[in-house]
Chains A and B, each alone.
Chain A
């Protein structure tokens, strides 16, 4: 691999790692929140919105 290709690979892998981790966190939060009905006024935990943070 050339120097430039190695540099691009290093930056690319770092960006992908952070983006995938960030997206996983947000998706997991949304999924569990939906499961609990947080943020949904009609849901079982509709009043939890400001409490769980």
Chain B
């Protein structure tokens, strides 16, 4: 993972030429995803129009899993190698924070789209089903992780505390994913599984795969910009601390 995510473009604080290109690609990919999901893909024989919600719901949770995985990886690297780095591992901390925030946004999208799908298919927005309950727990846990990151503390200590919480929180990700296999749930089994014949085929299959790619590109854009904003927040805090120290020195001398 490289520390340099590109130099900034003129006139913008978090954009670079590369991320501007990525932004255009993400917007175009998302627009095509809407066309495929809402227009091109047919209604399902069993689920009817509700199947279209799966093109948002499934990619959103996969991107959330990936984001939380990245948070865990960066957190593990921070705890393992952070002290050996010249920046004290703050690069890993920024990466973990930006990925977790993105994961929380996509988990919220998963919950809302799933709830709307549930109303059509099950006749209710919510059931205390194993998959739904563990997903809500995942959302709450990572909101807690983001809250911990904002508690006032010495930055290195705060980063290490958050890294430990990130690793503990990730335990819930496989529980969410395999909950449909481990317990009898109202939620349907996974639509796509590695090494097994997919539950969906044809245009629906390709729309789902394409939607996952499109949502991943959008998430990458969000994460890169959020990483840069966290760096800006650090610079602002450092500048504020320097000013406060200067004032204190002035008071002592005066």
A interface with B by C-beta (< 8 Å) = 1, 3-4, 6-7, 9-11, 13-15, 17-18, 21-22, 25-26, 28-30, 32-36, 38-39, 44-45, 48-50, 52-53
Within the complex, which residue of B7, B37, B119, B228 is in contact with A1, where a contact is CB–CB below 8 Å? B119
**In the complex, A1 Cα to B116 Cα: how many Å?**
9
Closest chain A residue to B14, Cβ basis? A29
**Residues of the B chain whose Cβ atoms lie less than 8 Å from the Cβ of A25:** 14, 222, 225-226, 229
- The digit string for B100-114, where 1 denotes a CB below 8 A from any CB of A, is 000001001100110
**In the complex, A15 Cα to B7 Cα: how many Å?**
28
Known contacts A14-B60, A25-B14, A36-B232, then 10 further A-B pairs from the complex at CB < 8 Å, ordered by chain A residue: A3-B120, A7-B53, A9-B116, A10-B52, A10-B112, A25-B226, A28-B232, A39-B8, A52-B235, A53-B6
Closest chain B residue to A34, Cβ basis? B13
**In the complex, A25 Cα to B6 Cα: how many Å?**
17
* B86 proximal to A (CB < 8 A): no
A53 with B50: CB separation less than 8 A:
no
**Residues of the A chain whose Cβ atoms lie less than 8 Å from the Cβ of B16:** 53
* B49 proximal to A (CB < 8 A): yes
A32 with B236: CB separation less than 8 A:
yes
**In the complex, A15 Cα to B30 Cα: how many Å?**
9
A-B contact count (CB 8 A): 124
**In the complex, A25 Cα to B5 Cα: how many Å?**
16
Interface of B is mostly: helix
- The digit string for B20-52, where 1 denotes a CB below 8 A from any CB of A, is 000000000010001001100000000011101
**Residues of the A chain whose Cβ atoms lie less than 8 Å from the Cβ of B15:** 26
For residue B25, give the distance in angstroms from its CB to the closest CB of chain A: 14
For residue B159, give the distance in angstroms from its CB to the closest CB of chain A: 18
Interface size on B, residues (CB 8 A): 46
**Residues of the A chain whose Cβ atoms lie less than 8 Å from the Cβ of B38:** 7, 11
For residue A10, give the distance in angstroms from its CB to the closest CB of chain B: 4
For residue B12, give the distance in angstroms from its CB to the closest CB of chain A: 7
A17 with B108: CB separation less than 8 A:
yes
For residue A3, give the distance in angstroms from its CB to the closest CB of chain B: 4
Interface of A is mostly: helix
B12 with A30: CB separation less than 8 A:
yes
Closest chain A residue to B16, Cβ basis? A53
Closest chain A residue to B228, Cβ basis? A53
**In the complex, A9 Cα to B172 Cα: how many Å?**
29
A6 with B116: CB separation less than 8 A:
yes
**In the complex, A6 Cα to B125 Cα: how many Å?**
11
A29 with B232: CB separation less than 8 A:
yes
A49 with B109: CB separation less than 8 A:
no
* B145 proximal to A (CB < 8 A): no
A7 with B50: CB separation less than 8 A:
yes
For residue A37, give the distance in angstroms from its CB to the closest CB of chain B: 9
Within the complex, which residue of A10, A29, A49 is in contact with B7, where a contact is CB–CB below 8 Å? A49
**Residues of the B chain whose Cβ atoms lie less than 8 Å from the Cβ of A4:** 49
